[in-house]
Amino acid sequence: MPNRYYLTTPIYYVNDVPHVGTSYTTVAADILARFHRARGEEVLFATGTDENATKVVQAAEARGMEPQPFVDGMAESFKRAWAELNVEYDVFIRTSEPRHKRAVQTFFQTLQDRGDIYQGPYEGWYCVSCETFFAQDEVPEVNGERRCPNIPEHPPLKLVQETNYFFALSRYGERLLAHIDAHPEFLQPEFRRNEVIQFINQGLRDVCITRAAVEWGIPVPTDPSQVIYVWFDALINYLTIAGYPDDTEALAKWWPANLHLVGKDIYVRFHCTLWPAMLMAAGLELPETVFGHGFWMSEGKKMSKSLGNFIEPLKLADWLAELSGARKEIAVDAIRYFLFREMPLGEDGNFARSSLLQRFNSDLANDLGNALNRSLKMTQQNFGLVAPPASNTETRLRDLALEIHPRVTAALVQLDLQGALAIVWEYISAINKYLDDRKPWSVPKENLAEIGGILYHALEAVRVVTVWIAPFMPKAAAELRRQIGMAPQSSWDDAIRWGLLQSGTPVEEAVPIFPRMDKKKMSEALNSAEQAPQPAGAAGTTHPVVSEGTLPPPPADAPGANADAAPVDNTITIDDFVKVELRVAEVLSAERIPKADKLLNLRVSLGDEERTVLAGMAEYYEPEALVGRKVVMIVNLAPRKMRGLMSQGMLLAAEADGKVSLLQPDQDLPAGAKIR
């Protein structure tokens, strides 16, 4: 294991406030930085703001400000946002800083001296919104206008004709392909690596890297009439942070970076082609890994400031805190959890407030909350406000922690944040199942040693969970640890040091960290959010979401849409009814289905056979609470495939006032008994 880890986010344009998309990248980096720190590594986690862009000047002008005071204020807004999102970076770089100006000019001069920068005429199409030059054959024409090939909704492109400086990118195609082939870890995830190879194989062209007669930016060192192109300038920030060019000791320590974490839109062209070629030209090592993550989408489009369809994470946290009753810093952690439990890091996902609320209730309030609250409340009832005595006879959760810890570690090393959380939740489910199996509430009060052993085992398992979730939810993990009498910080391998919770340690009263929300209140809040006025040009900022298993109302002209229409006769005969075969079923096992907030995967016994049933009960029942129950099941329903699984029946339940209850016999009948 290396003893240092240097990771970066892209630096962000300061033309507007942070949104869920930029927050996603920064929080992901924070999670990884916290993980590596917990492992005992020295970490350099850097983020910052990209301030030398044309659209920054435009944003300042729109507010009646000069660029410098505008970017000063915006940089502070980013810092405040990251602080409120529980992000702990080590360096915040600004491209308007003197140290960065020196780094860029030194780098430019180095490449010019080596013959990789030359002057010549330029003619091409320029997108101000994404600060990118495009060749004629890359730009589609729409209604007589040239449009950005990345995001067609951007303003029309401008034809630029200037005498500028060029970087000889075309010289580096073969060297780039050779490096990619020799270092399979360099470009991740794998399917994005293939996109880079395809882009290089199409043929690289020399890149225009300066603009003429622009007042805002870093001047070319030998030609102050030109400023350096924002992308050439911005990429060098990763070297500036590491000490380039003056602090050679720091540079030797931190460079090359272990990880550049970037969005897929700036992955292929800039971070995986232009940037490594620039480093090759300067004689510097390439970063170990460049990872291109996906986008959070809104109504099928990437969230972005230019499209105006973004969601501000801090306003979202305020909304969630008010709705749930959780403290804001805990609501922030819930959002951090949701972002990385809901979507694999390399893929796209569609943001939905309904999914956030379902994750809050099912994963955080029910699963994690129950694991702590049940254990702590019973501890207080039997032992007061101190941790119960340990027992060497309880080993189930200890042994499982030893098995799961390397799996969680491997997932985080491989940048599989969603996978790491899924593994942790396996363990949380095991804690709840352990409590259901051992039933400490049913143990006679005189058997305090047995009760204590059960509860200590559960509380110590909760302590283990706090180690694993701390990178994702630092404030929530610290609060969990406080309630069980532990210090807020821990090292990574504390998860496999069983027994760190000392018997007799003072504990706090059980207070839900993630208060469970009422379903009716959730529905009202979602409807209110969906009907809220949208910012100009921002359709879909808080867009309606059709939940799985629900349908929008029919159009006014649809059959049955008229409330005054004649009622449908739904009377059935006895012959219809006897076709339905009802039997008693016993639930043998139950588990949640990844990415399905409403479905549980049940294995049931009908006495002479076992079947799989997918039941939409995840919002109302914990999986462990269903095991061993006798329920009523339709057994001759045609099988149906859902989520890649075949459901072979249907359980019956009653619903009223938002409450759902499974139907079950009032006597202990055997599995398979017929209902008539």
Instruction: Supply angle C-alpha 45, 34, 3, rounded to 5.
Output: 70
CATH number of 352-496: 1.10.730.10
Distance CA 508, CA 486 (A): 10
Q: Which amino acid is at 478?
A: A
By the 8 A CB rule, do 499 and 456 touch?
Answer: no
**Is 139 within 8 Å of 149 (Cβ atoms)?**
yes
Flag the least confident range among 33-47, 72-86, 206-220, 279-293.
206-220
Range of 51-65, 76-90, 635-649 with top mean pLDDT: 76-90
More confident site: 54 or 24: 24
Q: What is the pLDDT of residue 673?
A: 87
Q: Kindly report, residue by residue over 144-172, the tens digit of the pLDDT.
A: 888 888 778 888 888 878 899 999 999 99
Residue 540 in this model has a pLDDT that exceeds 50? no
pLDDT reported for residue 20: 79
| pLDDT (average), residues 89-99 | 97
Q: Which helix (H) or strand (E) is 445 found in, with range?
A: none
Amino acid at 160: V
Residue found by looking up tokens 């759902």 in the block: 660
Determine contact, residues 286/280, Cβ cutoff 8 Å: yes
Average pLDDT, the chain: 87
Q: Which residues contact 392 (CB under 8 A, 6 or more apart)?
A: none
**Residues near 442 by beta carbon (within 8 Å), at least 6 away in sequence:** none
| C-alpha torsion sign, points 293, 297, 301, 303 | negative
Residue 599 has pLDDT above 90, yes or no: no
Q: Cα(477)–Cα(446) distance, rounded to whole angstroms?
A: 34
pLDDT band at residue 567, thresholds of 50, 70 and 90? very low
550 has pLDDT over 60: no
In 95-180, DSSP assigns E strands to 117-127, 132-134, 141-142, 145-146, 158-167
Give 502-507 contacts, CB < 8 A, sequence gap 24+: 502/387, 503/386, 503/387, 503/388, 503/389, 503/390, 503/456, 504/386, 504/387, 504/389, 505/386, 505/387, 506/385, 506/386, 506/387, 507/376, 507/379, 507/380, 507/385, 507/386, 507/387, 507/459, 507/483
Provide the pLDDT for residue 622.
83
Predicted model pTM:
0.76
**CA 272 remoteness from chain centre:** 23
For 608-632, write each residue's pLDDT tens digit: 788 899 988 887 888 877 888 899 9
Mean pLDDT value across residues 542-565: 27
* pLDDT (tens digit per residue) in 38-70: 999 999 999 999 999 877 888 888 889 999 999
Q: Write the pLDDT tens digit of every residue in 398-440.
A: 999 999 999 999 999 999 999 999 999 999 999 999 999 999 9
**Rounded distance between C-alpha atoms, residue 639 and residue 612, angstroms:** 10
**pLDDT above 90 for 501:** yes
Q: Which CATH class is domain 4-302?
A: alpha beta
Whose tokens are 């398992």? That residue is 461
pLDDT value at position 310?
67
Whether 311 shows a pLDDT value over 90: the answer reads no
Task: Specify the higher pLDDT residue, 129 or 468.
Answer: 468
* More confidently predicted of 319 and 659: 319
Query: What confidence tens digit (pLDDT) does each residue in 340-372 have?
Result: 998 889 888 888 899 999 999 999 999 999 999
pLDDT > 70 fraction of the chain, expressed in percent and rounded:
89
Cα separation, 271 vs 291, whole angstroms: 9
Residue 470 has pLDDT above 90, yes or no: yes
Residue with token string 């005498």: 163
Residues 244-294 have pLDDT tens digits of: 999 999 999 999 999 999 999 999 999 999 999 999 999 999 999 999 998
Q: Where are the domains of the chain?
A: 4-302, 352-496, 574-675
Give the whole-angstrom CA distance, residue 155 versus residue 602: 52
Beta bridge partners of 122: 162
d(CA 159, CA 165): 17
Q: What CATH class is the domain 574-675?
A: mainly beta
Confidence at residue 531, expressed as pLDDT on a 0 to 100 scale = 57
Residues 480-490: tens digit of each pLDDT: 999 999 999 99
Is pLDDT at 329 greater than 60 in this prediction?
yes
Query: Which tokens is 572 given?
Result: 């059935």
Percent of the chain residues past pLDDT 90, beyond the cut:
61
* The residue type at 49: T
Among the listed ranges 165-174, 219-228, 241-250, 561-570, which one has the minimum average pLDDT value?
Answer: 561-570
Query: What burial letters (b/e) apply to 492-526, b meaning 16+ CB within 10 Å?
Result: bebbbebeebeeeeebeebeebbbbbebeebeebb
More confident position, 467 or 125: 467
Half-sphere CA count of 372, side-chain side, radius 13 A: 29
In our burial notation (b when 16+ CB lie closer than 10 A, e otherwise), range 544-559 reads: ebeebeeeeeeeeeee
Half-sphere exposure of 571 (CA within 13 A, CB side): 3
pLDDT at 538: 31
Q: What is the pLDDT of residue 554?
A: 28
Q: Enter the DSSP assignment of 619.
A: T
pLDDT category of residue 109 using cuts at 50, 70 and 90:
very high
- Amino acid of residue 540: G
Asked if 43 contacts 31 with a C-beta cutoff of 8 angstroms, the reply is no
Asked whether residue 90 carries a pLDDT value surpassing 80, the answer given is yes
Query: Going by C-beta distance under 8 Å and a sequence separation of 6 or more, which residues neighbour residue 50?
Result: 10, 11, 12, 13, 14, 56, 95, 230, 234, 237
Q: What is the DSSP letter of 386?
A: B
Which range has the worst mean pLDDT, 152-161, 170-179, 185-194, 567-576? 567-576
Q: Which of 153, 158, 159, 156 is nearest to 306 (CA)?
A: 153
